[in-house]
């Protein structure tokens, strides 16, 4: 089984969110199952800078927007990768500073339609072995809107590979105006409601859904949710009619990168058996690295954390609204690491200025800090309005940092609630791994957090839930087999 795996980001070379993690760890897991796999990524400036060496596999001459692009295809074997990495090197489109989708001021690149249409065209050609490498995949697996045109470009090819398309987040549809479709001179037959046209615009994610042989998304619950108006972003009808080819496969995590017993980014390692001591030492390091004295009181106080893109999806506003009451009614402290919308960043910074001893905020992207936060906190806040899968709650479970989550998408599929309350009595669920609330409102988040804090003070109960959480197996083993079955 040969698979060409196309993504616009791949950890550790380039990452803006969970897609980067999955595009690294899933191929590794598939390869361990015997799949012969190549990952293909745009040759961003940031990625080229990190490569020790590469070889040129060949040149593709690709026509887009009336221009002839001479694109180099590079092959590299970066450290950590157990398979070859292919890079689509088109300097005019990818050799620039900034992140994959936006410039250094945070604005989307003006030519994103062209950049990812060209990348997709190159992937489709590689899928047909256009370089005569004697390596033609059985399956091309494309991810999110950035590679949505891959299945479309393959549509006219005879003897093409099977096309699998994975939706990681339907909120990002790769929408561009008709003029852009015309400027790129994409095939006119694509412009229909049964093609990539979407309310007068083009949608690259819709192209992926329409033209792929199989569509997957990253949790069983999200696969159902996106077929409804609440979560479908207008594509619910398209998806509902294609449920026959839609599957939800839960993401896994890289068990080496996120292992509290060996994590090289942690000052202190720990296992489920001695988690209290290990977490306490990391908590001390976390507090001190944020300029807070690790007094006995501070070490004993519950520490609630969040690592996130600061966007509406993640429900940070609910936390911000709940914090004044939590500060008043408990001794909890808070820590945030994230980047995103300037107004959310500003609100968090304001809170930390008002309560410098109780709220720590880092507006930055830092893997090191994210790992220490996971290890040093007691609770992880993830009240996402929707969450296709979510990886941070999985990292939190593994690190014994009990997640507080909204019952949606992958959060609903991975966190087992601690309690159910009948009017008079509360029962602890013996399988519990965290705290789950049903509706994304500040009030429910607040009540659930207060409940979690009450359990925190009951050490025996707390330790049991923490132990359960750390025993969960969210490695890729099971999900990689599901992908393999689908490919076959
Ligand atoms: P999403 O992909 O929607 O952002 P996930 O939970 O699937 O959500 O994955 C987010 C990933 O990005 C996790 O690996 C998380 O640790 C990482 N991440 C997000 N923001 C930051 C940040 N500011 N610093 C370090 N890592 C971050
Ligand atoms: C997206 C989703 C997130 C998911 C990740 C990886 O960014 O928002 O829920 O975990 O992709 O699939």
Question: In terms of Cα–Cα distance, which of 188, 223, 214 is closest to 202?
Answer: 188
Summarised one tens digit per residue, pLDDT across range 50-62 is: 999 999 999 999 9
Read off the pLDDT of residues 237-295 as tens digits, 9 standing for 90 and up.
Answer: 999 999 999 999 999 999 999 999 999 999 999 999 888 889 999 999 999 999 999 99
b/e map 444-453, b = 16+ CB within 10 Å: bbbebbebbb
Testing ligand 1's pocket by substitution, the residue of 307, 341, 363, 394 carrying the most ligand atoms inside 8 A of its CB is 307
pLDDT reading at 223 higher than 70 = yes
CB-CB contact of 452 with 1 (8 Å): no
At 442, is the pLDDT very low, low, confident or very high (cuts 50, 70, 90)? very high
Measured CA to CA in angstroms, residue 425 lies from 66, 420, 458 at distances of: 70, 9, 17
Atom of ligand 1 nearest to the CA of 384: 3
Is 387 close to ligand 2, i.e. is its CB under 6 Å away?
yes
Kindly report the CATH number that applies to the domain delimited by 2-249: 3.40.50.2000
pLDDT of residue 419: 75
Q: Where in the chain is the domain with CATH 3.40.50.2000?
A: 2-249, 272-470
Phi, psi of 105 (to 5 degrees): -85, 0
Q: Is 21 in the pocket of ligand 1 (CB under 6 A)?
A: yes
Find the farthest-apart pair of alpha carbons in the chain and give their distance in angstroms, rounded: 72
Would you state the pLDDT for residue 439? 97
pLDDT value for 69:
95
Distance CA 158, CA 278 (A): 58
Ligand nearest to the CA of 391: 1
Q: What is the pLDDT of residue 425?
A: 62
- Average confidence (pLDDT) over 451-456: 94
For the chain, give the percent of residues with pLDDT over 90: 94
Which ligand is closest in space to the CA of residue 144? 2
- Mutate which of 8, 18, 216, 386 to test ligand 2's pocket (most atoms within 8 Å of Cβ)? 18
Average pLDDT of the chain is 96
- The pLDDT-based confidence of 478 (bands split at 50, 70, 90) is very high
Q: How many CB atoms lie within 10 A of CB 55?
A: 10
Going by pLDDT thresholds of 50, 70 and 90, the confidence category of residue 106 is confident
pLDDT score of 423: 47
With a 6 Å cutoff on the Cβ, whether 391 touches ligand 2 is yes
Second CATH level (architecture) for the domain 272-470: 3-Layer(aba) Sandwich (3.40)
Q: Is 307 in the pocket of ligand 1 (CB under 6 A)?
A: yes
CA 104/CA 451 separation, integer angstroms = 42
How many Å separate Cα 211 from the centre of its chain? 24
- Give the 3-state secondary structure of residue 75: strand
Alpha-carbon distance of 468 to 294, in angstroms, equals 28
User: In terms of DSSP bridges, do strands 85-89 and 162-167 run parallel, antiparallel, or are they unpaired?
Assistant: unpaired
Q: How does DSSP assign 217-228, residue by residue?
A: ES-HHHHHHTTS
Instruction: Please state the rounded mean pLDDT for residues 450-479.
Output: 94
Closest ligand relative to 369 C-alpha = 1
Q: Is 405 near ligand 1, meaning CB less than 6 Å away?
A: no
Stated pTM of the model: 0.97
- Residue 172, pLDDT above cutoff 80: yes
The rounded distance, in Å, linking the Cα atoms of 46 and 147 is 20
Tens digit of pLDDT for each residue in 402-437?
999 999 999 999 999 997 555 456 667 889 999 999
DSSP 311: S
Long-range CB contact pairs, 291-296, < 8 A, 24+? 291/360, 292/333, 292/357, 292/360
How far is residue 139 CA from its own chain's centroid?
23
Mean pLDDT calculated for residue range 447-468: 94
Copy the structure tokens of residue 341.
């919308």
Which of ligand 1's atoms lies nearest the C-alpha of 169?
3
* Helix H or strand E segment including 19: helix 18-32
């Amino acid at each position: 089984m040969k698979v060409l795996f196309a993504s616009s980001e791949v950890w550790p070379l380039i990452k803006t969110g969970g897609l980067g993690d999955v595009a690294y760890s899933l191929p590794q897991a598939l390869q361990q199952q015997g799949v012969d796999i190549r990952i293909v990524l745009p040759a961003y400036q940031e990625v080229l800078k990190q490569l020790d060496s590469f070889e040129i596999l060949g040149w593709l001459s690709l026509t887009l927007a009336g221009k002839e692009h001479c694109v180099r295809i590079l092959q590299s074997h970066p450290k950590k990768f157990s398979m070859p990495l292919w890079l689509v090197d088109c300097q005019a489109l990818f050799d620039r500073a900034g992140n994959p989708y936006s410039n250094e001021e945070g604005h989307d690149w003006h030519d994103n339609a062209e950049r990812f249409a060209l990348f997709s065209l190159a992937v489709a050609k590689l899928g047909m072995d256009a370089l005569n490498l004697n390596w033609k995949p059985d399956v091309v697996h494309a991810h999110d809107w950035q590679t949505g045109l891959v299945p479309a470009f393959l549509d006219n090819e005879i003897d093409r590979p099977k096309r699998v398309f994975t939706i990681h987040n339907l909120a990002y549809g790769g929408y561009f105006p008709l003029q852009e479709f015309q400027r790129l001179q994409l095939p006119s037959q694509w412009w229909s409601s049964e093609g990539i046209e979407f309310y007068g615009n083009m949608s690259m994610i819709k192209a992926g859904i329409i033209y792929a042989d199989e569509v997957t998304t990253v949790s069983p619950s999200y696969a159902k949710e996106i077929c409804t108006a609440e979560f479908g972003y207008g594509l619910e009808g398209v998806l509902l009619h294609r449920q026959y080819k839609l599957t939800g496969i839960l993401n896994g995590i890289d068990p080496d990168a996120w292992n509290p017993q060996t994590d090289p980014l942690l000052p202190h390692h720990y296992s489920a058996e001695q988690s209290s001591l290990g977490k306490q030492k990391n908590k001390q390091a976390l507090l001190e690295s944020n300029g807070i004295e690790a007094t006995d009181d501070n070490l004993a106080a519950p520490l609630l954390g969040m690592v996130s893109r600061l966007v509406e999806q993640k429900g940070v506003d609910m936390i911000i609204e709940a914090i004044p009451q939590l500060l008043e009614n408990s001794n909890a402290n808070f820590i945030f690491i994230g980047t995103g919308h300037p107004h959310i960043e500003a609100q968090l910074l304001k809170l930390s200025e008002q309560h410098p001893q109780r709220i720590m905020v880092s507006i930055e992207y830092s893997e090191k800090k994210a790992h220490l936060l996971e290890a040093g906190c007691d609770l992880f806040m993830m009240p996402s309005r929707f969450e296709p899968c979510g990886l941070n709650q999985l990292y939190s479970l593994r690190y014994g940092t009990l997640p507080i989550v909204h019952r949606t998408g992958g959060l609903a599929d991975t966190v087992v609630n601690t309690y159910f309350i009948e009017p008079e009595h509360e029962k602890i669920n013996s399988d519990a791994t965290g705290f789950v609330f049903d509706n994304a409102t500040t009030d429910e988040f607040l009540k659930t957090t207060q409940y979690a804090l009450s359990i925190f003070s009951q050490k025996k109960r707390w330790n049991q839930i923490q132990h359960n959480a750390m025993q969960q197996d969210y490695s890729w083993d099971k999900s990689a087999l599901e992908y393999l079955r689908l490919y076959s």
